[in-house]
Structure 1
């Protein structure tokens, strides 16, 4: 018989969040229930309520953690040419959306009607687009009000392209999509300038 490992409360909470995020990658928010997590973790529902308060607290914690994971997973390299860094970051974004498709779609839909989800979604989106700008002018694009507006629109475009491609890639290769995403930002910024 395998012995159980006693975890600290923080370790247990992190373990439950990790499991919640893995489940969220394959399920919608509506399918991500306390019952499912308890069953998968082999624990009682009461323990989940102990760590997260209620179902909404659990759901919010999982979504926030998934958004943090997205931002971390798509961070561009610290060095290299700006366009190369963008290509790497866009490739990582595509990979993350592929691995977490159901949860990402659910977050996107939920953000339209739930203020908490909207806040999580908007914060993640801002983190993804804000890092394109650099205050020392060594970034990929200049930081001006017009360009920020263009980047905000491009982010919606990029998200739609990625979600459409993941749902049905057709004859477009992954490399073509990443090049299209990166190149379109440069073209839009050039046109705005």
Structure 2
């Protein structure tokens, strides 16, 4: 819990618990990540904004790399929260809504997004593992929403297909962010349309097609 110390007339210093201080530092890092690459986040600037010494930051994080991992982990959590499926929508609309919010998020964070996927940070095994965990979480979400039986023999293949679709979404969005040769609506149409085309599963394709044209499909 935060406490306030009186250090003399007109000066008060807020003392945070270790958990609160760590949260503050990670939040500052994520805020900076919105307009710069991970490598360009200055430990000194973070410490100044937090009102602590540079050395004290390493009381809460074992190393600069540990701090960077915490920032990326939080940014990935933000992305997953931003793209949470809206279960009030039909399957097709749910997919399109999530893709729209994904494109919106990466557009707002294009510098860090491009840096994490194509910059020096993308070669870090630890950061690659965090990115893969986020992709796996997205695959699990898609599978959880599809109208397929738990014992459907196609599930292993579809898991692979959905993972490939996410790679397609990432790469296509990266190119679009760099060149923007088509409209955002055209980009989203392309990303959404690619999933049933790749899946090649009759139930899933029918369900998505029925949802898209307004047909009411059985639950």
The TM-score normalised by the length of structure 2 is: 0.77
Aligned to 1:90: 99
- Among 136, 158, 161, which residue is 1:150 paired with? 161
Gaps of 5+ in 2: 1-9, 206-219
- Among 119, 123, 137, which residue is 1:127 paired with? 137
Say whether the 8 Å CA contact 2:91–2:145 is kept in structure 1. Answer: no
Report how far residue 79 of structure 1 moved.
Answer: 2.4
Change (3 A) 1:36 1:145: same
- Among 107, 110, 128, which residue is 1:118 paired with? 128
1:7-86 maps to which residues of 2 (within 5 A)?
A: 7-86=16-95
Provide runs of 4+ in structure 1 moved above 6 Å: none
Say whether the 8 Å CA contact 1:154–1:185 is kept in structure 2. Answer: yes
- Among 167, 170, 177, which residue is 1:159 paired with? 170
Gaps of 5+ in 1: none
Structure number with bigger Rg:
2
- Residue deviations 1:127-152 (CA, integer Å, cap 9, x gap): 1222111278369xx76222222212
Say whether the 8 Å CA contact 2:38–2:121 is kept in structure 1. Answer: no
Change (3 A) 1:79 1:111: farther
Aligned length: 190
Report how far residue 20 of structure 1 moved.
Answer: 0.3
Report how far residue 29 of structure 1 moved.
Answer: 2.1
CA RMSD of aligned residues (A): 2.5
Say whether the 8 Å CA contact 1:111–1:121 is kept in structure 2. Answer: no
